[in-house]
Structure 1
């Protein structure tokens, strides 16, 4: 037994005479540290080292972010592709519609101008046959009336393809000048409406060109 206050050295040192911890003997601090380490290892899992849990969380966050970016990029790419395809389809449809309108106008305007030319010729044939009192004058009159009906139908078709009041007025003027040819009593009187009807047809064609896309 060590006497109170006595101090020994070496192997004869008194048990428990070392530095004391906060709670009593000096042996109390080591067991506490061992218990804390065991608790930390149990929390991290078997074989896990301190700090590995934070690293795994960061890797999971990075993987999730990469997945979200990939999904967003795919969705954005699909949306842009749809927009561009829709725009190209609308552009192609617009081009096709303009081309179809151009062809319809070319056909209608040229048909009306050709019908006017045929009607003018029919009026001239009837005028000369009536002037000479030829037997076929009545038949030529009916033919001229038929040609006028054809020209009138062509005029209506051409007017349906434009909203130009000026172009419609030019076409009606050309038809009216052709009507006046049959009212002439002499060749001198015939020359006036004949020349005016010809000029009116040319003026109509020139004005119609402005309504043909790409002309």
Structure 2
């Protein structure tokens, strides 16, 4: 009888140990999967946010070049080429804005991104050099604001 009891305790101990090991392995696997998902999202956000900021800078530069071309009596062919370039970069920046809006769950970040895009798109409507300078400075602040808000989402690993 004593041998049966010892064997039963050994089997129950083995089953309990196996069950505990299984539970801990599942927890560890879920946690590792969660961390991998969070890191993947962080990297996707980093790519989307930095790509968008870079395109905003290019879009801003193209709009400024176009404005100066139109208002400082340069070659008509050059003006057409600069306008075309600004349209192309605008499209790329708008595509990047959509990516930012899709990948973020934060309303203020999406709002800052959209406002920066809107204001950069208005640079070529400046009336004079003073107005274009003010718009240039405003858009630089807005781009910096976007980067600073976005930094909160990509600054560290979760």
TM-score by length of 2: 0.94
> Residue in 2 aligned with 1:24?
none
> Residue in 2 aligned with 1:98?
38
> Residue in 1 aligned with 2:98?
156
Alignment of 1:19-34 (within 5 A): none
Structure 1 residues not aligned, in runs of 5+:
1-60
- Asked whether 1:116 is paired with 2:56, we answer yes
Shift of 1:92: 1.0
The structure where helix makes up a greater share of residues is 2
Q: Deviations over 1:38-83 (max 9, x none)?
A: xxxxxxxxxxxxxxxxxxxxxxx21111011011011011111111
Q: Runs of at least 4 residues of structure 1 off by over 2 A?
A: none
Shift of 1:213: 5.6
Task: Compute the RMSD of aligned alpha carbons.
Answer: 1.1
Q: Distance in 2 between matches of 1:93 and 1:179?
A: 41
Shift of 1:91: 1.2
- Asked whether 1:84 is paired with 2:13, we answer no
Q: Distance in 2 between matches of 1:157 and 1:73?
A: 54
Which structure ranks higher in relative contact order (CA pairs < 8 Å, sequence separation ≥ 6)? 2
> Residue in 2 aligned with 1:69?
9
> Residue in 1 aligned with 2:85?
143
2:68 corresponds to which of 128, 153, 159: 128
Shift of 1:197: 0.6
Matched positions, count = 155
Shift of 1:132: 2.2
1:213–1:195 Cα change, 3 Å: closer
TM-score by length of 1: 0.70
Shift of 1:133: 2.5
Task: State whether residues 126 and 140 of structure 1, in contact with CA within 8 Å, keep that contact through their aligned partners in structure 2.
Answer: yes
> Residue in 2 aligned with 1:197?
139
Q: Distance in 1 between matches of 2:114 and 2:136?
A: 15
> Residue in 2 aligned with 1:46?
none
> Residue in 1 aligned with 2:153?
211
Structure 2 residues not aligned, in runs of 5+:
none
Q: Distance in 2 between matches of 1:212 and 1:139?
A: 37
